[in-house]
């Protein structure tokens, strides 16, 4: 079990006091001397347990509005002293510094204060100085001291006190030291990211981790770092898997394009939409989304921009799907959907998603701004003699939104606010178009009068020619090829309309 050390004293100074009382009571039961500060000292004494004020130890009061309380050699000397070092022990005796064996300190809630949109002054006051110093000192000296640096560690520490009766092993002290440095590095990263105004430096940290069943495949380990509870109420079903989370992420980002639109439903598989429709009723939106590819919908992720009612739920219930996401569920709809025990049901909360993206690449990290640009008719360029009708313009923007969230190279075919088919992740744009046409025909869609969206420009007129041959009437694409005029000329010769957005939407 490692080197045991009997704890004789503890310093306690915490912001969060939930769950602290049982630890105080156990320390008292074990005759461990307690030093404390301010509100924590009062909390302890209200439990009927004595605590020595830090001011009594240091002979200095808390000053500067509480900014300086524990920053004193009599505190840090007692924490950092090496118990096996005769010179350290001699100096402790010389300056009457007591050894401190347990440090229970947490940090001001900096991230919560930032999230509350508080003033800059309020946020700055939540940058902890004394607490972070105590944590680092105690963690550094884990050979002699145990550091409890978060209320999330209270239960584990209490169990150590109970089982060891005040004796703590080196392994336990070292484990808690690692936790302490994780807390301090996360805290510093949050402060840096708040204050940073342009320095190119990558600092990301997440407190919460979920152990997944496995990664992308069963032989890979998988974890999710982040707090899903901030984004969802998880109402039912098995635990989200690695692949579920990727699909849910794709679904949330796609549906954000339709947040305030008429009832819209999307079905996704392997991060791509296999069905999307916008209709007067949610039930019809679901049915028309499903019609685009009922085969791929099996085992997919479903998402709605409206509360799911019983009528829609009755249709969904007949499909095997992994996840259903919506802003809410009527009670009778929820009862029905819970009929499949493994079906994951998520209520999406209305929170702001991150505006940046990153992922590992080679021996580093790729970082970019999120693609938050949505094509709008106000900024497009009408480049052909024929101008798309109002109906076609609506369909073009609908198709463009889906295209933006589909793996490149991609072509999306749509009509009447319904996805007909898409070619996804192809190595050529022609292949993507051929795939989309073949799929639309397989599910008996009439492409006459449909529209086509492309995530990038056409280097040659071959795609507009193929589209014209199957009845496509209008095209939306970024433009920007040195041979744009060839595609424009073809459209003009065949009375097709085409608009340029000026924005490429690659997604890899």
Catalytic residues: 140, 270
Half-sphere exposure in the Cβ direction for 236 (13 Å, CA) = 18
Tokens of 299: 């085992």
Q: Which residue has the tokens 């693609």?
A: 371
Residue with structure tokens 């849910």? 248
φ/ψ bin of 201: left (φ > 0), alpha (ψ from -120 to 50), beta (otherwise) = beta
Which helix (H) or strand (E) covers residue 224, if one does?
strand 223-225
Picking from 402, 436, 413, 439, the residue whose alpha carbon sits closest to that of residue 273 is: 402
* Residue 276 three-state SS: strand
Query: What tokens appear for 496 in the block?
Result: 């097709």
62 Cβ contact partners less than 8 Å away, ≥ 6 residues apart: 37, 38, 55, 68, 69
Q: Which residue has the tokens 């022609």?
A: 430
Query: Cβ atoms within 10 A of the Cβ of 140, count?
Result: 15
The dihedral over CA atoms of 54, 59, 63, 67, expressed in degrees to the nearest 10, equals: -40
Q: CB under 8 Å to 189, separation ≥6 — which residues?
A: 203, 204, 205
Cα torsion at 365, 370, 375, 380 (round to 10°)?
Answer: -60
Residue 22: DSSP 8-state: H
Query: Of all helices (H) and strands (E), which one includes residue 206?
Result: none
Query: Quick check: helix, strand or coil at residue 275?
Result: strand
Cα 100 from Cα 391, distance rounded (Å): 75
DSSP string, 82-112: -TT-HHHHHHHHHTT-----EEEE----HHH
């Amino acid at each position: 079990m490692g080197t045991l050390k009997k704890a004789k004293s503890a310093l306690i100074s915490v912001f969060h006091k939930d769950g602290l009382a049982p630890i105080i009571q156990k320390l008292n039961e074990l005759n461990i001397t307690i030093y404390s500060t301010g509100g924590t000292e009062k909390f302890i004494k209200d439990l009927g347990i004595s605590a020595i004020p830090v001011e009594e130890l240091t002979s200095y009061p808390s000053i500067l509005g509480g900014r300086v309380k524990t920053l004193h050699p009599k505190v840090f000397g007692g924490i950092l002293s090496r118990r096996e070092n005769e010179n350290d022990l001699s100096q402790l005796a010389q300056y009457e510094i007591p050894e401190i064996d347990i440090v229970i300190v947490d940090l001001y809630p900096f991230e919560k204060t930032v999230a509350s949109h508080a003033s800059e002054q309020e946020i700055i006051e939540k940058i902890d100085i004394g607490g972070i110093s105590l944590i680092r000192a105690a963690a550094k000296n884990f050979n002699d001291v145990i550091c409890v640096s978060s209320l999330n560690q209270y239960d584990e520490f209490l169990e150590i006190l109970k089982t060891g009766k005040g004796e703590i092993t080196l392994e336990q002290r070292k484990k808690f030291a690692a936790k302490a440095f994780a807390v301090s590095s996360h805290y510093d990263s949050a402060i840096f990211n708040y204050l940073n105004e342009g320095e190119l430096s990558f600092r990301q940290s997440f407190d919460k981790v979920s152990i997944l069943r496995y990664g992308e495949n069963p032989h890979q380990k998988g974890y999710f770092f982040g707090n899903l509870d901030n984004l969802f109420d998880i109402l039912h079903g098995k635990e989200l898997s690695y692949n579920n989370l990727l699909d849910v992420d794709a679904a949330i980002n796609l549906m954000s394009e339709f947040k305030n639109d008429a009832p819209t439903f999307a079905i996704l598989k392997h991060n791509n939409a296999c069905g999307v429709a916008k209709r007067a009723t949610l039930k019809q939106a679901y049915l028309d989304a499903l019609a685009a590819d009922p085969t791929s919908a099996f085992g997919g992720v479903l998402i709605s921009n409206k509360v799911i009612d019983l009528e829609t739920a009755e249709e969904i219930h007949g499909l095997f799907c992994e996840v259903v996401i919506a802003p809410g569920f009527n009670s009778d709809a929820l009862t029905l959907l819970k009929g499949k025990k493994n079906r994951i049901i998520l209520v999406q909360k209305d929170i702001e998603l991150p505006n940046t993206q990153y992922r590992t690449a080679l021996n580093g990290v790729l970082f970019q701004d999120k693609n938050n640009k949505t094509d709008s008719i106000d900024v497009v360029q009408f480049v052909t003699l024929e101008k798309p009708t109002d109906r076609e313009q609506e369909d073009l923007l609908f198709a463009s939104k889906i295209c933006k969230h589909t793996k490149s190279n991609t072509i999306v075919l749509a009509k009447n606010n319904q996805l007909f088919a898409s070619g996804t992740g192809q190595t050529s744009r022609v292949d993507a178009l051929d795939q989309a046409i073949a799929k639309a025909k397989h599910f008996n869609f009439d492409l006459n009068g449909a529209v086509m969206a492309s995530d990038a420009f056409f280097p040659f007129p071959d795609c507009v020619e193929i589209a014209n041959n199957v009845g496509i009437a209008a095209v939306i694409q970024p433009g920007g090829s040195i041979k744009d005029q060839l595609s424009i000329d073809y459209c003009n010769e065949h009375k097709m309309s085409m608009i340029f957005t000026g924005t490429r939407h690659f997604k890899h």
